[in-house]
Chain A
Amino acid sequence: ELKVEQNPLFLSMQEGKNYTIYCNYSTTSDRLYWYRQDPGKSLESLFVLLSNGAVKQEGRLMASLDTKARLSTLHITAAVHDLSATYFCQCAGGTSYGKLTFGQGTILTVHP
């Protein structure tokens, strides 16, 4: 069964600093998604990564996918307070094409 692990689970950052969230998954996967969730709210799609070496950027966030290493990263550049949220990765794997499994989430807090 596909397992998806994120680290760190908690991340406290200073504004202006850079950091990376890692998402490891246990079986081959052809799709990797990143989401943001604010407290008490639903999930907002950030990125969809579909191939090895895929890189996507939106504002201060950049996501990449290495299917050989079964690893995706979400890089935060020059963090600002508005980025404080929980970030999830999600992927499909193994024989199940539609069962998409989430990581545990990374709670990001950006402080002055």
Chain B
Amino acid sequence: DTGVSQDPRHKITKRGQNVTFRCDPISEHNRLYWYRQTLGQGPEFLTYFQNEAQLEKSRLLSDRFSAERPKGSFSTLEIQRTEQGDSAMYLCASSRNPGNTIYFGEGSWLTVV
């Protein structure tokens, strides 16, 4: 296993711009999760996929956030019209099935200036 891969690792953007993060899960992992973590806090659930189906989405996600996993493999998380409050680390994780170990990627750090 090569691990969960996230890209880019760091992103600085101006307020109002759109950003997109990509996550490549471990091969054959059906479940894919997105979390957001700010400094000193625990990760907050954003959304999860079972294969290509987005099964749940947090109320934390406003209309500015969207996630896709079009072929049940990699996933993208897009944030439109970024705000300073979006500055955080965005974490992607995957697992084979519920109840299996969940593996996290290294995270994508977003700074909105």
B56 x A96 contact (CB < 8 A):
yes
Q: Which stretch of A67-75, A76-84, A102-110 is in the interface? A: A102-110
Question: Count of B residues near A, CB < 8 Å?
Answer: 25
A100 x B99 contact (CB < 8 A):
no
B98 at the A interface (CB under 8 A): yes
Which A residues are in CB contact (< 8 Å) with B103? 45
- Which residue from A30, A31, A98, A102 sits with its C-beta under 8 Å from B56? A98
A99 x B48 contact (CB < 8 A):
yes
B101 x A104 contact (CB < 8 A):
no
Q: How far is the CA of A99 from the CA of B93 in the complex (A)?
A: 12
In the complex, which residues 37-94 of chain B have their Cβ closer than 8 Å to any Cβ of chain A?
41-45, 48, 50, 55-56, 58, 91, 93
B2 at the A interface (CB under 8 A): no
Which A residues are in CB contact (< 8 Å) with B42? 88, 102-105
B21 at the A interface (CB under 8 A): no
A50 x B99 contact (CB < 8 A):
yes
A42 x B104 contact (CB < 8 A):
yes
A42 x B58 contact (CB < 8 A):
no
Q: A44-57 CB contact bits vs B (8 Å, 1 = yes)? A: 11001010000000
Q: Chain B residue with minimal CB distance to A97? A: B98
B7 at the A interface (CB under 8 A): no
Q: How far is the CA of A50 from the CA of B58 in the complex (A)?
A: 24
Beyond A50-B99, A99-B45, 5 extra complex contacts between A and B, CB < 8 Å = A30-B99, A35-B104, A41-B106, A45-B102, A98-B48
A-B contact pairs, 6 of them (CB 8 A): A30-B99, A42-B104, A42-B107, A45-B103, A98-B56, A102-B42
